[in-house]
Chains A and B, each alone.
Chain A
Amino acid sequence: MSFIDVTMQLLDGFKVTMLIFFLTLVGAIPLGLIISFGSMSKLKPLRWLTRTVVWIIRGTPLMLQIIIIFYGPGLIFGAAPLPRLSSVLVAFIVNYAAYFSEIYRGGIESIPVGQYEAGQVLGMTKTQIFFKIVLFQVIKRIVPPMGNEIITLVKDTSLARVVAVVELAKAAQDIVGLKGIIWPTFYIGAFYLLVSGALTLLFARIEKKLDYYKG
Protein backbone atom coordinates (compact mmCIF):
# COMPACT_ATOMS: atom_id res chain seq x y z
CA MET A 1 0.00 0.00 0.00
CA SER A 2 1.45 3.29 -1.03
CA PHE A 3 1.78 6.33 1.21
CA ILE A 4 -0.97 8.08 -0.76
CA ASP A 5 -3.37 5.15 -0.40
CA VAL A 6 -2.76 4.94 3.32
CA THR A 7 -3.20 8.69 3.68
CA MET A 8 -6.50 8.64 1.80
CA GLN A 9 -7.80 5.80 3.93
CA LEU A 10 -6.67 7.49 7.12
CA LEU A 11 -8.34 10.71 6.03
CA ASP A 12 -11.69 8.90 6.05
CA GLY A 13 -11.05 7.99 9.67
CA PHE A 14 -9.83 11.49 10.37
CA LYS A 15 -13.17 12.90 9.21
CA VAL A 16 -14.94 10.79 11.82
CA THR A 17 -12.42 11.92 14.44
CA MET A 18 -13.14 15.56 13.63
CA LEU A 19 -16.88 14.90 13.63
CA ILE A 20 -16.67 13.44 17.14
CA PHE A 21 -14.44 16.34 18.19
CA PHE A 22 -16.70 19.14 16.97
CA LEU A 23 -20.02 17.61 17.94
CA THR A 24 -18.68 16.89 21.42
CA LEU A 25 -17.71 20.54 21.80
CA VAL A 26 -21.05 21.77 20.48
CA GLY A 27 -22.89 19.59 22.99
CA ALA A 28 -20.56 19.73 25.98
CA ILE A 29 -19.85 23.48 26.12
CA PRO A 30 -23.49 24.49 26.86
CA LEU A 31 -24.32 21.30 28.80
CA GLY A 32 -21.34 21.98 31.05
CA LEU A 33 -22.77 25.38 31.90
CA ILE A 34 -26.08 23.84 32.92
CA ILE A 35 -24.29 21.25 35.05
CA SER A 36 -22.18 23.94 36.68
CA PHE A 37 -25.34 25.84 37.65
CA GLY A 38 -26.63 22.59 39.16
CA SER A 39 -23.49 22.07 41.20
CA MET A 40 -23.66 25.67 42.48
CA SER A 41 -27.39 25.57 43.16
CA LYS A 42 -28.77 26.82 46.45
CA LEU A 43 -31.03 23.75 46.53
CA LYS A 44 -29.03 21.22 48.46
CA PRO A 45 -30.55 18.07 46.90
CA LEU A 46 -29.95 19.36 43.37
CA ARG A 47 -26.42 20.37 44.27
CA TRP A 48 -25.57 16.99 45.75
CA LEU A 49 -27.21 15.09 42.93
CA THR A 50 -25.25 17.07 40.34
CA ARG A 51 -22.00 16.70 42.22
CA THR A 52 -22.52 12.96 42.59
CA VAL A 53 -23.13 12.59 38.87
CA VAL A 54 -20.01 14.64 38.13
CA TRP A 55 -18.05 12.47 40.54
CA ILE A 56 -19.21 9.28 38.83
CA ILE A 57 -18.47 10.61 35.37
CA ARG A 58 -15.07 11.95 36.27
CA GLY A 59 -14.32 8.93 38.43
CA THR A 60 -14.74 6.25 35.77
CA PRO A 61 -12.88 5.73 32.49
CA LEU A 62 -14.42 7.32 29.41
CA MET A 63 -13.85 4.03 27.61
CA LEU A 64 -16.05 2.25 30.14
CA GLN A 65 -18.74 4.91 29.72
CA ILE A 66 -18.75 4.41 25.96
CA ILE A 67 -19.11 0.65 26.41
CA ILE A 68 -21.92 1.05 28.96
CA ILE A 69 -23.89 3.45 26.76
CA PHE A 70 -23.51 1.23 23.71
CA TYR A 71 -24.11 -2.18 25.30
CA GLY A 72 -25.99 -1.21 28.45
CA PRO A 73 -29.51 -0.65 27.07
CA GLY A 74 -29.42 -3.99 25.26
CA LEU A 75 -28.04 -5.97 28.19
CA ILE A 76 -30.30 -4.46 30.82
CA PHE A 77 -33.58 -3.78 28.99
CA GLY A 78 -33.14 -5.87 25.90
CA ALA A 79 -33.55 -2.64 23.95
CA ALA A 80 -32.07 -2.05 20.53
CA PRO A 81 -28.69 -0.38 20.90
CA LEU A 82 -28.08 3.20 19.78
CA PRO A 83 -26.06 3.51 16.60
CA ARG A 84 -22.35 3.23 17.38
CA LEU A 85 -21.46 6.81 16.60
CA SER A 86 -24.42 8.15 18.59
CA SER A 87 -23.41 6.15 21.66
CA VAL A 88 -19.92 7.52 21.38
CA LEU A 89 -21.23 11.07 21.07
CA VAL A 90 -23.51 10.73 24.09
CA ALA A 91 -20.64 9.38 26.19
CA PHE A 92 -18.23 12.09 25.02
CA ILE A 93 -20.66 14.95 25.46
CA VAL A 94 -21.66 13.92 28.98
CA ASN A 95 -18.10 13.17 29.99
CA TYR A 96 -16.68 16.41 28.68
CA ALA A 97 -19.60 18.44 30.00
CA ALA A 98 -18.76 17.13 33.48
CA TYR A 99 -15.16 18.31 33.17
CA PHE A 100 -16.17 21.62 31.62
CA SER A 101 -18.71 22.20 34.38
CA GLU A 102 -15.96 22.08 36.99
CA ILE A 103 -13.85 24.52 34.99
CA TYR A 104 -16.85 26.86 34.69
CA ARG A 105 -17.61 26.52 38.38
CA GLY A 106 -14.05 27.43 39.27
CA GLY A 107 -14.22 30.41 36.94
CA ILE A 108 -17.58 31.65 38.17
CA GLU A 109 -16.68 31.27 41.84
CA SER A 110 -13.44 33.16 41.31
CA ILE A 111 -15.25 36.35 40.31
CA PRO A 112 -15.20 38.73 43.29
CA VAL A 113 -18.57 39.19 44.98
CA GLY A 114 -18.07 42.94 44.55
CA GLN A 115 -18.78 42.60 40.84
CA TYR A 116 -22.23 41.17 41.60
CA GLU A 117 -22.88 43.79 44.25
CA ALA A 118 -21.84 46.60 41.93
CA GLY A 119 -24.37 45.32 39.41
CA GLN A 120 -27.05 44.96 42.09
CA VAL A 121 -26.75 48.48 43.43
CA LEU A 122 -26.97 49.74 39.85
CA GLY A 123 -30.37 48.08 39.59
CA MET A 124 -29.35 45.29 37.23
CA THR A 125 -31.17 41.95 37.17
CA LYS A 126 -29.43 38.70 38.06
CA THR A 127 -29.48 37.68 34.41
CA GLN A 128 -28.00 40.99 33.31
CA ILE A 129 -25.30 40.74 35.94
CA PHE A 130 -24.37 37.25 34.76
CA PHE A 131 -24.38 37.93 31.05
CA LYS A 132 -23.19 41.55 30.98
CA ILE A 133 -20.63 41.54 33.78
CA VAL A 134 -19.62 38.11 35.03
CA LEU A 135 -19.61 35.85 31.96
CA PHE A 136 -16.93 37.71 30.04
CA GLN A 137 -14.63 37.75 33.05
CA VAL A 138 -15.24 34.03 33.52
CA ILE A 139 -14.37 33.36 29.88
CA LYS A 140 -11.09 35.19 30.25
CA ARG A 141 -10.21 33.12 33.29
CA ILE A 142 -11.16 29.73 31.87
CA VAL A 143 -9.47 29.97 28.48
CA PRO A 144 -6.22 28.26 29.59
CA PRO A 145 -7.86 25.25 31.33
CA MET A 146 -10.42 24.92 28.51
CA GLY A 147 -7.59 24.85 25.97
CA ASN A 148 -6.01 22.05 27.94
CA GLU A 149 -9.20 20.04 28.09
CA ILE A 150 -10.02 20.55 24.42
CA ILE A 151 -6.58 19.35 23.35
CA THR A 152 -7.14 16.26 25.47
CA LEU A 153 -10.42 15.73 23.63
CA VAL A 154 -8.58 15.56 20.28
CA LYS A 155 -6.69 12.52 21.49
CA ASP A 156 -9.56 10.98 23.47
CA THR A 157 -11.53 10.60 20.24
CA SER A 158 -9.38 7.50 19.64
CA LEU A 159 -11.39 5.76 22.38
CA ALA A 160 -14.36 5.55 20.02
CA ARG A 161 -12.81 2.49 18.49
CA VAL A 162 -13.83 0.34 21.49
CA VAL A 163 -17.28 0.12 19.90
CA ALA A 164 -15.82 -0.22 16.42
CA VAL A 165 -16.36 3.33 15.21
CA VAL A 166 -13.81 3.77 12.46
CA GLU A 167 -12.08 6.95 13.48
CA LEU A 168 -8.44 7.75 12.83
CA ALA A 169 -6.87 5.22 15.20
CA LYS A 170 -9.21 2.42 14.15
CA ALA A 171 -8.56 3.20 10.49
CA ALA A 172 -4.85 2.79 11.10
CA GLN A 173 -5.39 -0.40 13.08
CA ASP A 174 -7.45 -1.84 10.22
CA ILE A 175 -4.69 -1.15 7.75
CA VAL A 176 -2.13 -2.72 10.07
CA GLY A 177 -4.25 -5.83 10.52
CA LEU A 178 -5.13 -6.19 6.85
CA LYS A 179 -1.90 -5.27 5.12
CA GLY A 180 0.66 -6.31 7.71
CA ILE A 181 2.39 -2.95 7.77
CA ILE A 182 3.03 -1.19 11.06
CA TRP A 183 3.98 2.37 10.07
CA PRO A 184 0.42 3.81 9.66
CA THR A 185 0.09 3.46 13.45
CA PHE A 186 2.93 5.90 13.90
CA TYR A 187 1.79 8.07 11.05
CA ILE A 188 -1.52 8.97 12.74
CA GLY A 189 0.48 10.72 15.45
CA ALA A 190 1.12 13.45 12.87
CA PHE A 191 -2.62 14.03 12.42
CA TYR A 192 -3.19 14.47 16.14
CA LEU A 193 -0.15 16.71 16.43
CA LEU A 194 -1.36 18.89 13.60
CA VAL A 195 -4.79 19.42 15.14
CA SER A 196 -3.47 20.06 18.64
CA GLY A 197 -0.88 22.41 17.17
CA ALA A 198 -3.60 24.41 15.45
CA LEU A 199 -5.61 24.49 18.68
CA THR A 200 -2.59 25.66 20.65
CA LEU A 201 -2.17 28.57 18.25
CA LEU A 202 -5.88 29.33 18.36
CA PHE A 203 -5.97 29.43 22.14
CA ALA A 204 -2.85 31.57 22.31
CA ARG A 205 -4.63 34.03 20.04
CA ILE A 206 -7.77 34.05 22.13
CA GLU A 207 -5.73 34.62 25.27
CA LYS A 208 -3.95 37.49 23.63
CA LYS A 209 -7.23 39.00 22.46
CA LEU A 210 -8.58 38.92 26.00
CA ASP A 211 -5.41 40.38 27.41
CA TYR A 212 -6.51 43.97 26.81
CA TYR A 213 -7.48 44.31 30.45
CA LYS A 214 -6.18 42.98 33.73
CA GLY A 215 -8.20 41.52 36.54
Chain B
Amino acid sequence: MSVLEVCNIRKSFGGEEVLKGISFSMERGEVVAIIGSSGSGKTTLLRCLNFLVEPDQGSIVVNGETVYDSETVTNRSEKELRAKRLHFGMVFQSFHLFPQYNVLRNITLAAELREQELLKERKASKEEKKKVMAQVTETAKQLLSQVGLLEKQNAYPCELSGGQQQRVAIARALALNPDILCFDEPTSALDPALTGEVLRVIRGLKSSDRTMIVVTHEMEFARKVADKVIYMADGVIEEMGEPEQVFGTPKSEKLRKFLENAKEGL
Protein backbone atom coordinates (compact mmCIF):
# COMPACT_ATOMS: atom_id res chain seq x y z
CA MET B 1 0.00 0.00 0.00
CA SER B 2 1.25 3.47 -0.82
CA VAL B 3 2.07 5.67 2.12
CA LEU B 4 0.82 8.68 0.20
CA GLU B 5 -1.60 9.04 -2.67
CA VAL B 6 -2.21 12.51 -4.00
CA CYS B 7 -5.00 12.72 -6.54
CA ASN B 8 -5.84 15.59 -8.83
CA ILE B 9 -4.99 18.45 -6.49
CA ARG B 10 -6.03 21.84 -7.78
CA LYS B 11 -5.52 25.22 -6.20
CA SER B 12 -6.15 28.77 -7.37
CA PHE B 13 -5.18 32.05 -5.83
CA GLY B 14 -7.27 35.01 -6.92
CA GLY B 15 -8.39 33.41 -10.19
CA GLU B 16 -4.93 32.19 -11.12
CA GLU B 17 -4.60 28.44 -11.06
CA VAL B 18 -1.34 27.50 -9.37
CA LEU B 19 -1.90 23.74 -9.22
CA LYS B 20 -3.71 22.26 -12.18
CA GLY B 21 -4.37 18.71 -11.10
CA ILE B 22 -1.41 17.12 -9.39
CA SER B 23 -1.39 13.35 -8.88
CA PHE B 24 1.36 11.10 -7.62
CA SER B 25 1.93 8.42 -5.05
CA MET B 26 4.85 7.26 -2.99
CA GLU B 27 5.90 4.19 -1.06
CA ARG B 28 7.18 3.94 2.47
CA GLY B 29 10.82 4.90 2.75
CA GLU B 30 10.84 6.54 -0.63
CA VAL B 31 12.39 9.93 -1.28
CA VAL B 32 10.70 12.10 -3.86
CA ALA B 33 12.46 15.20 -5.14
CA ILE B 34 10.37 17.92 -6.71
CA ILE B 35 12.22 20.22 -9.08
CA GLY B 36 11.06 23.05 -11.28
CA SER B 37 11.48 26.77 -11.73
CA SER B 38 10.07 29.32 -9.31
CA GLY B 39 6.34 29.77 -9.60
CA SER B 40 5.74 26.25 -10.88
CA GLY B 41 3.65 25.40 -7.80
CA LYS B 42 6.12 23.22 -5.90
CA THR B 43 5.80 25.11 -2.63
CA THR B 44 2.04 25.40 -2.91
CA LEU B 45 1.85 21.63 -3.30
CA LEU B 46 3.80 21.10 -0.07
CA ARG B 47 1.65 23.67 1.69
CA CYS B 48 -1.46 21.80 0.56
CA LEU B 49 -0.11 18.57 2.00
CA ASN B 50 0.52 20.31 5.34
CA PHE B 51 -2.90 22.02 5.25
CA LEU B 52 -1.32 25.44 5.36
CA VAL B 53 -3.51 26.12 2.36
CA GLU B 54 -6.61 24.16 1.53
CA PRO B 55 -6.77 22.68 -1.97
CA ASP B 56 -9.79 23.58 -4.09
CA GLN B 57 -10.09 20.07 -5.45
CA GLY B 58 -8.60 16.64 -5.13
CA SER B 59 -7.82 14.14 -2.44
CA ILE B 60 -4.95 13.15 -0.20
CA VAL B 61 -4.72 9.63 1.21
CA VAL B 62 -2.12 8.69 3.83
CA ASN B 63 -1.68 5.03 4.75
CA GLY B 64 -5.09 4.28 3.31
CA GLU B 65 -6.77 6.98 5.40
CA THR B 66 -8.33 9.82 3.45
CA VAL B 67 -7.03 12.95 5.10
CA TYR B 68 -8.49 15.28 2.54
CA ASP B 69 -11.16 14.94 -0.09
CA SER B 70 -12.73 18.00 -1.65
CA GLU B 71 -15.89 15.98 -2.40
CA THR B 72 -16.65 15.21 1.21
CA VAL B 73 -15.02 18.18 2.88
CA THR B 74 -17.03 19.48 5.78
CA ASN B 75 -16.26 22.04 8.39
CA ARG B 76 -13.50 20.18 10.12
CA SER B 77 -12.79 20.99 13.72
CA GLU B 78 -9.40 22.39 14.58
CA LYS B 79 -8.65 19.18 16.45
CA GLU B 80 -9.23 16.97 13.43
CA LEU B 81 -7.22 19.27 11.25
CA ARG B 82 -4.33 19.12 13.69
CA ALA B 83 -4.45 15.34 13.84
CA LYS B 84 -4.30 15.21 10.04
CA ARG B 85 -1.45 17.66 9.89
CA LEU B 86 0.62 15.39 12.09
CA HIS B 87 0.92 12.89 9.23
CA PHE B 88 3.22 15.42 7.64
CA GLY B 89 6.27 17.23 8.92
CA MET B 90 7.52 20.40 7.35
CA VAL B 91 10.95 21.96 7.11
CA PHE B 92 10.79 25.52 5.83
CA GLN B 93 13.17 27.38 3.61
CA SER B 94 13.91 29.94 6.31
CA PHE B 95 13.79 27.56 9.31
CA HIS B 96 11.24 29.47 11.45
CA LEU B 97 12.76 28.30 14.71
CA PHE B 98 11.26 29.87 17.83
CA PRO B 99 13.83 32.52 18.75
CA GLN B 100 13.00 32.77 22.43
CA TYR B 101 13.59 29.10 23.16
CA ASN B 102 16.86 27.22 23.21
CA VAL B 103 17.52 24.42 20.77
CA LEU B 104 16.25 21.62 22.99
CA ARG B 105 13.06 23.50 23.86
CA ASN B 106 12.43 24.22 20.18
CA ILE B 107 12.31 20.48 19.62
CA THR B 108 10.37 19.44 22.70
CA LEU B 109 7.75 22.23 22.79
CA ALA B 110 5.17 20.84 20.37
CA ALA B 111 5.75 17.23 21.40
CA GLU B 112 5.23 18.12 25.07
CA LEU B 113 2.02 20.01 24.34
CA ARG B 114 0.77 17.09 22.31
CA GLU B 115 1.64 14.57 25.02
CA GLN B 116 0.04 16.74 27.69
CA GLU B 117 -3.17 16.71 25.69
CA LEU B 118 -3.09 12.94 25.31
CA LEU B 119 -2.25 12.41 28.98
CA LYS B 120 -5.12 14.63 30.00
CA GLU B 121 -7.52 12.70 27.79
CA ARG B 122 -6.70 9.42 29.46
CA LYS B 123 -6.33 11.04 32.90
CA ALA B 124 -2.82 9.77 33.41
CA SER B 125 -1.12 9.71 36.78
CA LYS B 126 1.63 12.09 37.80
CA GLU B 127 4.28 9.39 37.55
CA GLU B 128 3.20 8.53 34.06
CA LYS B 129 3.33 12.20 33.09
CA LYS B 130 6.85 12.48 34.36
CA LYS B 131 7.89 9.40 32.46
CA VAL B 132 6.34 10.58 29.21
CA MET B 133 7.94 14.03 29.48
CA ALA B 134 11.32 12.47 30.21
CA GLN B 135 10.81 10.35 27.12
CA VAL B 136 10.10 13.46 25.03
CA THR B 137 13.34 15.07 26.19
CA GLU B 138 15.22 11.84 25.60
CA THR B 139 13.87 11.57 22.05
CA ALA B 140 14.74 15.21 21.39
CA LYS B 141 18.31 14.59 22.48
CA GLN B 142 18.56 11.53 20.27
CA LEU B 143 17.32 13.57 17.32
CA LEU B 144 19.80 16.31 18.12
CA SER B 145 22.68 13.89 18.07
CA GLN B 146 21.30 12.46 14.87
CA VAL B 147 21.65 15.89 13.26
CA GLY B 148 24.99 16.33 15.02
CA LEU B 149 24.05 19.19 17.32
CA LEU B 150 23.71 17.63 20.75
CA GLU B 151 26.35 19.94 22.17
CA LYS B 152 24.25 22.94 21.05
CA GLN B 153 21.15 21.92 22.98
CA ASN B 154 21.29 24.97 25.24
CA ALA B 155 22.14 27.49 22.53
CA TYR B 156 19.57 29.93 21.16
CA PRO B 157 18.76 29.94 17.45
CA CYS B 158 20.39 33.36 16.97
CA GLU B 159 23.67 31.87 18.13
CA LEU B 160 23.68 29.22 15.40
CA SER B 161 24.70 29.34 11.75
CA GLY B 162 22.01 28.95 9.11
CA GLY B 163 23.00 25.36 8.47
CA GLN B 164 22.81 24.53 12.16
CA GLN B 165 19.43 26.24 12.45
CA GLN B 166 18.11 24.19 9.58
CA ARG B 167 19.39 21.00 11.18
CA VAL B 168 17.56 21.94 14.39
CA ALA B 169 14.44 22.57 12.32
CA ILE B 170 14.77 19.07 10.87
CA ALA B 171 15.07 17.57 14.35
CA ARG B 172 12.04 19.61 15.43
CA ALA B 173 9.96 18.24 12.57
CA LEU B 174 11.09 14.69 13.35
CA ALA B 175 10.14 15.01 17.03
CA LEU B 176 6.49 14.45 16.14
CA ASN B 177 7.42 11.40 14.10
CA PRO B 178 5.51 12.29 10.93
CA ASP B 179 4.76 9.67 8.30
CA ILE B 180 6.09 11.93 5.60
CA LEU B 181 8.64 14.68 6.06
CA CYS B 182 8.45 17.59 3.61
CA PHE B 183 11.29 19.96 2.85
CA ASP B 184 10.58 23.28 1.16
CA GLU B 185 13.85 24.27 -0.48
CA PRO B 186 15.76 23.51 2.71
CA THR B 187 19.05 24.93 1.47
CA SER B 188 17.89 27.94 -0.54
CA ALA B 189 18.34 30.41 2.32
CA LEU B 190 21.81 29.09 3.09
CA ASP B 191 25.29 30.16 2.25
CA PRO B 192 26.62 27.66 -0.35
CA ALA B 193 29.24 26.56 2.17
CA LEU B 194 26.49 25.48 4.57
CA THR B 195 24.26 23.52 2.21
CA GLY B 196 26.41 20.41 2.48
CA GLU B 197 25.77 19.79 6.17
CA VAL B 198 22.00 20.03 5.68
CA LEU B 199 21.97 17.79 2.64
CA ARG B 200 24.09 15.25 4.51
CA VAL B 201 21.50 15.15 7.29
CA ILE B 202 18.71 14.59 4.77
CA ARG B 203 20.74 11.83 3.12
CA GLY B 204 21.24 10.30 6.57
CA LEU B 205 17.48 10.23 7.07
CA LYS B 206 17.06 8.36 3.82
CA SER B 207 19.22 5.56 5.13
CA SER B 208 17.00 5.35 8.21
CA ASP B 209 14.05 4.80 5.85
CA ARG B 210 12.30 8.11 6.25
CA THR B 211 9.64 8.88 3.68
CA MET B 212 10.46 12.32 2.37
CA ILE B 213 9.41 14.89 -0.20
CA VAL B 214 12.11 17.39 -0.98
CA VAL B 215 11.47 20.49 -3.04
CA THR B 216 14.92 21.52 -4.16
CA HIS B 217 17.07 23.42 -6.58
CA GLU B 218 20.04 21.16 -5.84
CA MET B 219 20.01 19.00 -8.96
CA GLU B 220 22.98 16.86 -7.96
CA PHE B 221 21.32 16.13 -4.65
CA ALA B 222 18.02 15.21 -6.28
CA ARG B 223 19.82 12.95 -8.69
CA LYS B 224 21.79 11.11 -6.03
CA VAL B 225 19.31 10.89 -3.18
CA ALA B 226 15.84 10.73 -4.69
CA ASP B 227 14.12 7.50 -5.66
CA LYS B 228 11.75 9.46 -7.81
CA VAL B 229 12.00 12.92 -9.34
CA ILE B 230 9.00 15.06 -10.18
CA TYR B 231 9.49 17.97 -12.53
CA MET B 232 6.78 20.59 -12.19
CA ALA B 233 6.09 23.40 -14.63
CA ASP B 234 3.16 25.82 -14.66
CA GLY B 235 1.17 23.90 -12.07
CA VAL B 236 1.37 20.47 -13.65
CA ILE B 237 3.68 17.49 -13.31
CA GLU B 238 5.49 17.79 -16.58
CA GLU B 239 7.64 14.72 -16.06
CA MET B 240 8.11 12.13 -13.35
CA GLY B 241 10.37 9.14 -13.04
CA GLU B 242 13.58 7.70 -11.70
CA PRO B 243 16.42 10.19 -11.43
CA GLU B 244 18.47 8.55 -14.16
CA GLN B 245 15.58 8.80 -16.54
CA VAL B 246 14.53 12.37 -15.63
CA PHE B 247 18.06 13.77 -15.65
CA GLY B 248 19.55 11.43 -18.24
CA THR B 249 16.89 11.12 -20.88
CA PRO B 250 14.34 13.87 -20.32
CA LYS B 251 11.39 13.53 -22.66
CA SER B 252 9.78 16.93 -22.17
CA GLU B 253 11.16 19.93 -24.02
CA LYS B 254 10.52 22.14 -20.97
CA LEU B 255 12.51 19.84 -18.72
CA ARG B 256 15.41 19.72 -21.18
CA LYS B 257 15.54 23.52 -21.19
CA PHE B 258 15.23 23.66 -17.42
CA LEU B 259 18.10 21.25 -16.92
CA GLU B 260 20.26 23.09 -19.42
CA ASN B 261 19.66 26.37 -17.59
CA ALA B 262 20.40 24.73 -14.27
CA LYS B 263 23.71 23.45 -15.65
CA GLU B 264 24.63 26.86 -17.02
CA GLY B 265 24.02 28.29 -13.62
CA LEU B 266 26.74 26.10 -12.15
Contact = CB atoms under 8 A, between A and B. Distances in A.
Interface of A: 112, 114-115, 117-126, 128, 132-133, 136-137, 140, 212-215
Nearest to B107: A122
Contact of A119 (B94, B110, B158, B173): B110
In the complex, which range does the number of interface residues on chain B fall in?
20 to 34
Nearest to B182: A121
Given A112-B96, A120-B50, A214-B158, 11 more contacts: A114-B94, A122-B110, A122-B176, A123-B86, A123-B176, A124-B82, A125-B82, A133-B98, A140-B100, A213-B100, A215-B99
B78 A125 contact: yes
Contacts of A215: 99, 157-158
B225 to A, nearest CB: 22
23 contacts: A114-B94, A114-B96, A115-B96, A117-B52, A117-B90, A118-B96, A119-B110, A121-B88, A121-B89, A121-B90, A122-B109, A122-B173, A123-B83, A123-B85, A123-B86, A123-B110, A123-B114, A124-B82, A136-B100, A137-B99, A137-B100, A213-B156, A215-B158
Interface centre among B90, B99, B173 (most CB of A within 10 A): B99
Interface centre among B78, B86, B94, B110 (most CB of A within 10 A): B110
Interface in B52-94: 52, 78, 82-83, 85-86, 88-90, 92, 94
Contact of A128 (B85, B88, B113, B157): B113
Interface in B84-133: 85-86, 88-90, 92, 94, 96-100, 109-110, 113-114
B172 interface: yes
Nearest to A133: B98
Contacts of B97: 118
Given A132-B113, A213-B158, A215-B157, A121 B98 contact: no
B96 A122 contact: no
A212 B89 CA distance: 29
Contacts of B88: 121
Given A123-B114, A132-B113, A214-B158, A115 B98 contact: yes
A122 B7 CA distance: 24
A44 B102 CA distance: 39
A117 B50 CA distance: 10
A56 to B, nearest CB: 35
Contacts of A137: 99-100
A123 B82 contact: yes
B18 to A, nearest CB: 17
Contact of B99 (A117, A119, A132, A213): A213
A154 to B, nearest CB: 30
A114 to B, nearest CB: 4
Contacts of B176: 122-123
A74 B90 CA distance: 61
Contact of B92 (A117, A124, A128): A117
Contact of A118 (B51, B82, B98): B98
A120 B89 CA distance: 10
Contacts of B157: 213, 215
Contacts of A136: 100
A126 B99 contact: no
Interface in B148-181: 156-158, 172-173, 176
Nearest to B84: A123
